[in-house]
Structure 1
Amino acid sequence: MKKILILFVSLCFCVTLFAQKKIKVACVGNSITYGYTLPDREINAYPAKLQKMLGDDYVVGNFGKSGATLLNKGHRPYMQQEEYHKAIDFAGDIVVIHLGINDTDPRDWPNYRDFFIQDYRALIDSFRVANSRCRILIARLTPIADRHPRFESGTRDWHDEIQLAIENIAKYAGVQLIDFHAPLYPYPFMLPDAVHPNVEGAEILAKTVYEGITGDFGGLRMSPLYTDNMVLQHGKPLTIQGTANAGDRITVSIAHQKQKVVTGMDGKWSVTLSPLKAGGPYTLVVSSGKQKLTYGNVLAGEVWLCSGQSNMEFYLNWSATAKCDVAKAANDNIRLFDMKARWRTDAVEWNASVLDSLNHLQYYKDTEWTVCSPQTAGNFSAVAYYFGKMLQDSLQVPVGLICNAIGGSPTEAWIDRSSLEYHFPAILRNWTKNDFIQDWVRGRAALNVKKSTDKLQRHPYEPCYLYESGILPLQQFPIKGIIWYQGESNAHNREAHEKLFKLLVDSWRKNWEDNELPFYYVQLSSIDRPSWPWFRDSQRRFLTQIPHTGMAVTSDKGDSLNVHPTHKQEVGERLAVWALNKTYNYKNVVPSGPLFKSVSFKNGAAYISFDYSEGLHASDNNEIRTFELSGDDQIFYPAKAAVVNGELKVWSDKVKEPTIVRYGWQPFTRANLVNGAGLPASTFRSDVK
């Protein structure tokens, strides 16, 4: 009995000693780990901040070496540095590695890239030899901003190649992957020299490591789009996603369906439900242990994102038919998620608090789904409302409308950073001074941020900004398609816009992982601005260049002096007929007015064929007007037009041998050609390819 008692006491003593033993965390890396450029790096480098987060049960060592490469044939191999040997002697129970940034140097990656994976695995193995029970976390590289002097000459591409190699290593070496890239990427002000995070950036890195080590991601959380009264996309498998602590068991239930999943090491979880039947109301319940989120009065139907600049933002209360339509707006089967800016880009100087919020992408007000009523619809987008109303009337299913339009915003503000870095990096550089940005846009932005002392101060009109603040938060929410009304802030440079618009559509489709996501947009209307005919024709040509798109022509509803024409019902409904015809297969619905198809020149006249040409006529029962002809000299003269055997014959006594025809080629046009559905023809010029 005495021996058993002694053995028990000894065991308790050993357990106590083991419990009191601190867990050693070795932070291995380069200057970013070391804390180079940080004031008081001993307390501000991410390992020091990690120590504070983990608490007294851990001891964190900083083994960062400025300039170190992962490659053993690189210009400063980490495994040949004193810091590496100290890290080995430390024999960490947990090892966090962030190496590879310096390997983007032209001395390294071009010559020795083939050794990167094996050198990284050798480094990992050496820590396992030092402590056979150690747990290893490797980090995706922190961003390198486009301001870096070698960005386009190789750094951008090599950085991405190294990211892929690190992901490969994590997959096959049995180590945990954490992400140092995504949390910093939308915040360029946190990389003052384009490479090294500032103090706030170091805090984010520490938090990322803390979450990776502890699995504490703050418990169950859902996208802000999940609220009572929401509309979930019906008719196809429905993905519900969120975050929770690593290893948490998540249960999702709705409409007699129940799915269970375990949260991954990265804190993310996802379930896919069978298609919901249109209608409701349903109750969606998401639970994790003691946490439970319940969403009531949920409908299943069609969800559309409505975006762009001020003509999409334009309220129903301001529209030409508001007095009649707002009063009749009550409809439980239309739900609105209205994302409004905290601060309009009016001609004012913003204070320091606003400027700081902008840098942190806190631009949109918190909101929630609401039932469509005179009170909610009146201050909602008129174009979006009329679009949704026509869909709901035609489809007889619930419709959810998400609106995040921002007045004055240029196209480039809505495109993801990676797309611009790879395909249009020049627009990112010195954006308030470069020639791609419209003068009005740069001038308003300069006024708004005049009080800022931060050279990297952000603004809603900055390239990427509205994508990062207004599109990324929507990423996890399934939608049916997009309607878009924008271009006024890019009409000065159609060539740049032709690149930007294609990048916009492509980046949004990537965001929702749907290459066929419908994208229906509004062609600019009429106003006395000289570049607009060229711009409208450029928009028309997107129809043949970008699949799964449609364009609502609005030149007949313009205003010669007002960039915000008030006739929005026609605009919303013209977008809706594209959706009804192309997305919902209502073939009896004509989606567009006449669209130029081809022209032949013979006997001194032009004979034009159109798509959607049945019933060509003048909208006002007068002569068809605004056609013009030219010869090879490209001097245009007014021409007469008449419908002949389904084609349009155009001629002019002043042009004996025409070679070019154009239509509606006035900034503010009185063009009047329509088809049998009463939809207007688009501006076009026959020789532009």
Structure 2
Amino acid sequence: MKKILILTLCVCFCAVSFAQEPVKVACVGNSITYGIGVANPDKDSYPAQLQRMLGEKYKVERFGKPGATLLNKGHRPYMQQKEFKDALAFAGDIVVIHLGVNDTDPRNWPNYRDFFISDYRALIDSFRVVNPKCRILIARTTPIADRHPRFESGTRDWQGEIQLAIESVAKSAHVQLIDFHKPLYPYPYLLPDAVHPNEEGASLLAKTAYEGITGNYGGLKMPELFTDNMVLQYGRPIDIHGTANAGDKVTVTIGKQKQKTVTGLDGKWRVTLHPLAAGGPYTLAVSTAERLLTFNNVLAGEVWLCSGQSNMEFHLNWSATAKQDVPNAANDQIRLFDQKERWRTNAVEWPVSVLDSLNHLQYYKDTEWKVCSPETAGKFSAVAYYFGKKLQDSLQVPVGLICNAIGGSPTEAWIDRRTLEYQFPAILRNWKQNDFIQDWVRGRAALNVKKSTDKQQRHPYEPCYLYESGILPLEHFPVRGIIWYQGESNAHNKEAHEKLFNLLVQSWRKNWNDAELPFYFVQLSSIDRPSWTWFRDSQRRLMTEIPHTGMAVSSDRGDSLDVHPKQKKEIGERLAAWALNRTYGHRNVVPSGPLYKSVSFARGAAYVSFDYADGLCTSDGKPISTFEVAGEDELFYPAQAVVEDGKIKVWSKKVKDPKIVRYGWQPFTRANLVNGAGLPASTFRTE
């Protein structure tokens, strides 16, 4: 009996001991793993925060060496440090490795990059020797902000190469890859010294490591655009994606289609549905064993993103034709996803309570898809509404419109960070004192955030901000194209805008993985601002340089005193004409007014040729106005102009030998040349 009791006690003791044996987690790395950048590394470093998240069933130890390199020929090789030996002695069951940031030092990567993969493999093998059953996770490196003194001289490019090398190591060494870069990248204020995360940044790293270790990503979730009443792009394969816990089986059904997949270790899942027929309503169901998400009254049709600044934001209720159009706006076949700002960028100081939310990119209100009605349309973009209505009337299919325009916003705020870092880094530096950015934009931003004491305080006008808060959340939601009305906040520097607009289109096409994504935009209208003539002509030239774009002329609907002209119906319908002609192949729809093509000179006159020139005439029945000519001295004089053999003959008695022609070259112009479709000619200046 005594032997049985002793044996029972031993078994119980062993069971308790086994049950209490924690899983050992070794966090290996450099100063970021150590906790440089946080006030109390023992309490707030990412490994310390990871310990609290994992709980008592795990034992997390940090083995971070400030300044350590992955490269064994680097200036401070991790494998030659005491912390490495301590990590081996710990023999972790799980090893989380974050190295590579210091390898961007010019002493390291330029000389020894060829050894990076083999050195990383050697490090991994070392931990497998001391614990053959250990599970290893390696991290893409945390960001290095553009404020870093060596950012452009090498750090930016070398870090990009190191990230690719780390991904190669993960594949070849069969270890799990986690991403320490993505969670921090849109939040540069979390890197006060441009390298080391603060406490909040460290918590994002801890969360990333926690999710990678446990596979717990919070269960099934979908992007915010997935709601009742949504419109899915018809006629092409539809990408449906979201997150769930690692290994969860996900089922997606719509109509007669059913697709199944398994969530990856990174918590992501994705299925591709076969093209849907236009119409509906459909019910979209997405489920795991633990959760079912159902989206009702879903239509399949044409989806367009409508963006820019205040003239795109301008509500239908405020438009010249609101009284007759708003009451008739009910249309179940048009759906609206209206992303509105929480705080308007008016000339006020925002309260302190706003500032932290801004830093966290919480600028847009929560919203959902709504059926078009007088109430919903009245508060929606007038230009977008008229665009969508013309498409729906012409195509007879459902139309979904997403609007996220922000008043006063500059082009650079809508471009992704990586694009600007690599192709226009100068605009990122000290943006509140940066002459690339319009002084009005900088002044308004400074006023709005005047109460902030944070040197890295963010604002919606900051480069990249609206991309990160308004485009990233769309998560590649399939769209047919883009309409854009913006430029007022970049008109001070057309040369900078020419580069920025190219980058904007490039950035968004890359985001939607569509090199031919249609991008139709509005040329600035007429107003008494001196730079706008050159800017309008620059926009015209951009249309000819960037493929799959079109420009709606609005100068004939301008207001000499108001930057927000109220005649929006014509503008929306002109954008729709581009889409109908170019995107949908309706060749009977004229997409544009006369667009300058070429000029020849003979017998003291200029002969100007245009595209879309059928039926050249004037909008008011009066003689053609606002043409000017100049000789080699580039002194311009008003000119007479008449239609002759499908061209415009232009001459002036004051210029015997004309060399240059310009048209509509007044900030507020009363230019009156139109084509047979009644569409106006653009401002232009010949070379």
Q: TM-score range by the shorter chain?
A: over 0.9
Give yes or no for the alignment of 1:256 onto 2:256. Answer: yes
In the TM superposition, residue 15 of structure 1 has moved relative to its aligned partner by 5.4
SS at structure 1 position matched to 2:489: coil
Partner of 1:436: 436
8 Å CA contact 1:238, 1:274 repeated in 2 = yes
Counterpart-to-counterpart distance in 2, 1:550 and 1:4: 89
Partner of 1:84: 84
8 Å CA contact 2:37, 2:199 repeated in 1 = no
Distance change >3 Å, CA 638–CA 79, structure 1 → 2: same
8 Å CA contact 1:232, 1:478 repeated in 2 = yes
Partner of 1:394: 394
Counterpart-to-counterpart distance in 2, 1:369 and 1:4: 70
Give yes or no for the alignment of 1:540 onto 2:540. Answer: yes
Paired residue type of 2:26 = A
Partner of 2:617: 617
Structure 1 consecutive aligned stretches of length 4 or more whose deviation exceeds 2 Å:
2-20
The 5 Å alignment of 1:220-299 reads 220-299=220-299
Paired residue type of 2:438 = Q
SS at structure 2 position matched to 1:525: coil
Partner of 2:456: 456
Partner of 1:475: 475
Partner of 1:343: 343
Partner of 1:202: 202
SS at structure 1 position matched to 2:276: coil
In the TM superposition, residue 19 of structure 1 has moved relative to its aligned partner by 3.0
TM-score by length of 2: 0.98
Give yes or no for the alignment of 1:109 onto 2:106. Answer: no
Distance change >3 Å, CA 5–CA 640, structure 1 → 2: farther
Counterpart-to-counterpart distance in 1, 2:516 and 2:499: 19
8 Å CA contact 2:317, 2:326 repeated in 1 = yes
Partner of 1:653: 653
Counterpart-to-counterpart distance in 2, 1:179 and 1:337: 31
8 Å CA contact 1:240, 1:476 repeated in 2 = no
Partner of 1:145: 145
Give yes or no for the alignment of 1:569 onto 2:569. Answer: yes
8 Å CA contact 2:345, 2:444 repeated in 1 = yes
Partner of 2:62: 62
TM-score by length of 1: 0.98
Give yes or no for the alignment of 1:301 onto 2:309. Answer: no
Distance change >3 Å, CA 289–CA 677, structure 1 → 2: same
Distance change >3 Å, CA 246–CA 656, structure 1 → 2: same
Counterpart-to-counterpart distance in 1, 2:387 and 2:42: 58
Q: Deviations over 1:196-247 (max 9, x none)?
A: 0000000000000000000000000001111101101100001101000000
Distance change >3 Å, CA 511–CA 648, structure 1 → 2: same
Paired residue type of 2:212 = G
Counterpart-to-counterpart distance in 2, 1:625 and 1:32: 67
Counterpart-to-counterpart distance in 2, 1:234 and 1:3: 76
Counterpart-to-counterpart distance in 1, 2:233 and 2:601: 50
8 Å CA contact 1:223, 1:476 repeated in 2 = no
Partner of 1:682: 682
Partner of 1:666: 666
Give yes or no for the alignment of 1:171 onto 2:171. Answer: yes
Partner of 2:636: 636
In the TM superposition, residue 17 of structure 1 has moved relative to its aligned partner by 3.8
In the TM superposition, residue 644 of structure 1 has moved relative to its aligned partner by 1.0
Counterpart-to-counterpart distance in 1, 2:430 and 2:476: 32
SS at structure 2 position matched to 1:528: coil
Q: Deviations over 1:505-552 (max 9, x none)?
A: 100111111111110000000000000010000000111211110100
Partner of 2:34: 34
Counterpart-to-counterpart distance in 2, 1:681 and 1:354: 45
Paired residue type of 2:146 = D
In the TM superposition, residue 3 of structure 1 has moved relative to its aligned partner by 12
Q: Deviations over 1:97-150 (max 9, x none)?
A: 000000000000000000000000000000000100000000001000000000
Give yes or no for the alignment of 1:126 onto 2:109. Answer: no
In the TM superposition, residue 7 of structure 1 has moved relative to its aligned partner by 9.8
Which 5+ residue runs of structure 2 have no aligned equivalent?
A: none
In the TM superposition, residue 11 of structure 1 has moved relative to its aligned partner by 7.4
Counterpart-to-counterpart distance in 1, 2:475 and 2:287: 21
In the TM superposition, residue 20 of structure 1 has moved relative to its aligned partner by 2.5
In the TM superposition, residue 273 of structure 1 has moved relative to its aligned partner by 0.4
8 Å CA contact 2:251, 2:258 repeated in 1 = yes
Partner of 2:353: 353
In the TM superposition, residue 434 of structure 1 has moved relative to its aligned partner by 1.1
Counterpart-to-counterpart distance in 1, 2:585 and 2:635: 43
Counterpart-to-counterpart distance in 1, 2:551 and 2:3: 89
Paired residue type of 1:340 = K
Paired residue type of 1:441 = V
Give yes or no for the alignment of 1:378 onto 2:378. Answer: yes
SS at structure 2 position matched to 1:53: helix
SS at structure 1 position matched to 2:433: coil
**More off after superposition, 345-354 vs 144-153:** 345-354
Q: Deviations over 1:411-442 (max 9, x none)?
A: 00000011111111111111111111111111
In the TM superposition, residue 351 of structure 1 has moved relative to its aligned partner by 1.5
Q: Deviations over 1:342-380 (max 9, x none)?
A: 000011111221000000000000001000000100000
In the TM superposition, residue 41 of structure 1 has moved relative to its aligned partner by 1.0
Q: Deviations over 1:582-611 (max 9, x none)?
A: 100101111011111111111111111111
Counterpart-to-counterpart distance in 2, 1:7 and 1:479: 70
Distance change >3 Å, CA 5–CA 297, structure 1 → 2: farther
Considering only aligned residues, what root-mean-square deviation do their CA atoms show, in Å? Answer: 1.5
Counterpart-to-counterpart distance in 2, 1:5 and 1:255: 65
8 Å CA contact 1:141, 1:163 repeated in 2 = yes
In the TM superposition, residue 398 of structure 1 has moved relative to its aligned partner by 0.3
Partner of 1:517: 517
Which 5+ residue runs of structure 1 have no aligned equivalent?
A: none
Percent identical across equivalent pairs? Answer: 77
Counterpart-to-counterpart distance in 1, 2:170 and 2:530: 56
Counterpart-to-counterpart distance in 2, 1:483 and 1:555: 18
SS at structure 2 position matched to 1:312: helix
Counterpart-to-counterpart distance in 2, 1:264 and 1:632: 67
In the TM superposition, residue 21 of structure 1 has moved relative to its aligned partner by 1.5
SS at structure 1 position matched to 2:60: strand
Counterpart-to-counterpart distance in 1, 2:101 and 2:142: 8
Q: Deviations over 1:557-588 (max 9, x none)?
A: 00000000000000000000000001001011
Q: Deviations over 1:142-187 (max 9, x none)?
A: 0000000000000000010100000111111100000000100000
**More off after superposition, 14-23 vs 511-520:** 14-23
Counterpart-to-counterpart distance in 2, 1:215 and 1:279: 38
**More off after superposition, 601-610 vs 200-209:** 601-610
Distance change >3 Å, CA 16–CA 624, structure 1 → 2: same
Counterpart-to-counterpart distance in 2, 1:9 and 1:233: 67
Counterpart-to-counterpart distance in 2, 1:119 and 1:4: 55
Counterpart-to-counterpart distance in 1, 2:271 and 2:390: 32
In the TM superposition, residue 463 of structure 1 has moved relative to its aligned partner by 0.5
Paired residue type of 1:408 = G
